[in-house]
Amino acid sequence: MTAPQITVNVDRDSVAMGDDAISHARVTHFAPGTPVSRMLEASAPEIHSRGWSWVAVVGGEVSAVWSADHGVRLLVPDRALSPERPVETVHFRYFLQIDPEWLFQRLAEGAPAHRDTLAAEYAPIAVRKREQELHRREREQRERLLSAQCVGALQTLGAAIELHADSECHFDLHAEHWVVRRADTMTQVFRGSGAPVASIRPIAFAESWIVAAVAAEARAARGLAALPAHEALPAPELRPMVGSRLGPQRWTSTGAITAQLTGDDAVASYRLAAGRTVDEIVALMLLRDDVG
């Protein structure tokens, strides 16, 4: 006679907006005697992204860390599924891109499985690891995010390049740290901390915008008007974005130039950069010293 199967009710957290539009609950069945570790591996989330961490809660007990990198790593002694417990429950909690090895060590040391607390603890470690990886790529790869022409213009305007790899460029200008980062097809620009002040496509216009924005800061530092008098060339229309009432106005354009801009300065740089090359922007900004 075939032994009755153990019913396992499996669920997982959603990982993004839209992912929660459908239920992730499912029911699986395992033979009695199956180790919990094997059951967890067979029931693992279908999202196999490396570097993502999941904490498996079995019957209400934090029991393992699962990742595509390392598979199941138990935090409790393994046990066999038993007919005495004909129904098991498993919930995989999403712990973001916290390094799964680090997360396992912290939970094994007795840290509570509080995602926000652990994410805050891991954040500075993640920053250091990311910077180390970027510097490695800068050393070992020839590809660069920004063109030599753009970098030369930034240096002419007083920017000190700190890092320039295939996906990011960091530089300092008048004690302010700037980060230019590729995000899919967009080029994002950050000034200091917080959200990007610009997200632009294509890269050629992004470079023109960056040089215009940096040149405006360089002019202001010399006591000049941030932008000289100039002719506004044709550019896709900017429209106000919904949901920007709590901070600086945000603007967007679509078409040949796709841009999302925050604040009046970003818009001014957009209008000056439209239709102009990097060299034309540098010439305009450096040679026109009118204060009006």
pLDDT of residue 292: 39
pLDDT higher than threshold 70 for residue 48:
yes
Residue 98 pLDDT level (bands cut at 50, 70, 90): very high
Does an H or E element contain 259, and which? strand 258-262
Helices (H), 97-183: 100-108, 115-140, 148-156
Per-residue model confidence (pLDDT) at position 286: 82
As given in the structure block, the two tokens for residue 26 are 């499912």
What value does the mean pLDDT take over residues 199-212? 97
pLDDT over 60 at 7, yes or no = yes
**Between 95 and 288, where is the model more confident?**
95
- The predicted model scores a pTM of 0.74
- Tokens coding 68: 């595509």
126-140, 237-251, 270-284, range with the lowest pLDDT = 237-251
Mean of per-residue pLDDT scores for the chain: 92
Residue 20 pLDDT exceeds 70: no
| Cis ω for the linkage preceding 234 (within 30 of 0) | no
With 0-12 CB in 10 A as exposed, 13-18 as middle and 19+ as buried, what is 61?
Answer: exposed
